[in-house]
Amino acid sequence: MSYTIPIGPYHPALEEPVHARLTVDGERITDAKVFVGYNHRGIEKLAQERNFIQTLVLVERVCGICSHSHALTYAMCIENIMGADVPRRGQYIRVIVEELERIHSHLLWLGIACHIVGHDSMFMQIWNDRERTMDTLENLTGNRVNYAMVTIGGARRDISDDQRRDLLAAMDDLEEKMGAITHYLTTDKTLAMRTKGVGVLTTEDAVRLGTVGPHARASGVDMDVRRDAPYCCYDEFEFDVPVEHSCDVFARVVIRVKEIYESIKIIRQAADLLPEGPINLGNKMPKVPAGEFVARHEAPRGHLVYKVVTDGGQTNHRLSIHVPTFKTAPTVPVMLVGNTVADAGLIVASIDPCFSCLDR
C-alpha cells in the first residue's frame, strides 16, 4: 500500500525551508514532489530603490555562504555597463577571496553531509579545519561571513605582504589537513554505505534538467564558468575542472574534495603573482549610463547569473538574479525515486541547497 509522507517545510532533517512530498511503498520512495517559496524577501524589488553602492551591501546578503559571489557578479554587471577596466591587482584580490569562499562552502557542506549520515566525529574534524579558512577570511577582510571586499571598479581593501604570507601559510596547513580528510571521506565504510549508489542523477538527466556546478560535475558534466567563460583574470591561472561519473552522493563528496585542492592551487598562484598597482578605480559613487548587462559567475554552488538594467539614474532600473539552487532543485525528485525514506534528507542536502538564494 502506498502512503504519502510530507517532509518540511520545517523539519529536523532539512537545513532550510523546503517541502518534499514523498509517495512511498514501505520504505521505498516511488514518487516525489518538491515545493519551494517559503522564504521570499523581495531582494530584486528592494534593489530598484537602492543606489549602486547600497545594492552591493544588499546583494551580499542574498546568501550568507556565497556573499562575495553575489557582490562580485553584480559589480561585474555595473562595470561592464560603465565600460570600466578593473585594475589587475583588484581582480587578483577578488579571485583570492572567491576561492577562499569556495573552500569555506565546500568544507561546510562536507561537514554537514557527515553529520546527516551520523558520522559526527568527522563532522567536527572538518568544521574544526574549516575554522582556519574562516580565520584567514577574517584576517584579509575583517569579516567571517559578509566580506565587503567588492566595490564598483575593483577591491575595497588591499592585501599586505604580511597578510599574503599568512594566506600562503594557511593554504599549506589546509592542504596538509585535507590529506586526512580525503582519506577518511574516500575510505570510510559507513560513509560509503550511506552514499554510494544513493541519489543517482545520470549524466543524461543532469543535462536534461540543466543542473550546474559541483552537482553537475559529479554527474559527468564537464562545465565550469571560470574555464569556459573566464572573468577576473581566471584565464591567467592553471587549474583543473574535476569531473566524476558515478553520479551518486558519493561522487558529490569526492568532487568537492577535489575542488578544494584546485582552489588552493589558484590561491597560491594569485598570491605569488599578485600584481603591483591600484586595487580599484576610486570609491566615489559611480556614474552609470543607461544600459544592461548579463554577468556569469562560478559560485561555490554553481552557475550564478545576474542581469542589471540601468536607466542613467542613481538606482537600478531592474535587477534579476538567477541562482544555482534554481537549477539544481529540479533534480531532487528524480534522485529521490527508488531510494529509502531514510536517505531523503541526505539526497536533498546533496545538491548543497540554498533556499535563501532561491527564494530571495
Under the banding of pLDDT at 50, 70 and 90, the label for residue 10 is confident
Q: How confident is the model at residue 12 (pLDDT cuts 50, 70, 90)?
A: low
Instruction: Give dist(CA 160, CA 168) in Å, integer.
Output: 12
Confidence of residue 145 (pLDDT cuts 50, 70, 90): confident
Count of domains forming the chain = 1
Task: Kindly tell me if the per-residue pLDDT of 94 is higher than 90.
Answer: yes
The whole-number pLDDT of residue 48 equals 93
pLDDT at 11 over 90: no
Q: Is the pLDDT of residue 118 over 90?
A: no
Residue 33 belongs to a domain with what CATH number?
Answer: 1.10.645.10
Q: What is the pLDDT of residue 349?
A: 87
Helix 249-272, helix 161-187: angle, nearest 10: 160
- Dump pLDDT digits (tens) for 280-304: 988 677 889 999 999 999 999 999 9
Averaged pLDDT of the chain: 91
With 0-12 / 13-18 / 19 or more C-beta atoms within 10 angstroms meaning exposed / middle / buried, residue 27 is exposed
How far apart are alpha carbons 63 and 41 in whole angstroms? Answer: 12
Could you give the CA distance from residue 138 to residue 156 in angstroms, rounded to a whole number?
A: 14
Spatial distance between the Cα atoms of 123 and 87, rounded to a whole number of angstroms:
40
Q: Which residues pair with 51 in a beta bridge?
A: 315
| Domain encompassing residue 281 | 2-358
Tell whether the model's pLDDT for residue 195 goes beyond 70: yes
What pLDDT sits at residue 13? 59
- 18-22, 54-58, 163-167: least confident range: 18-22
Report pLDDT for 164: 95
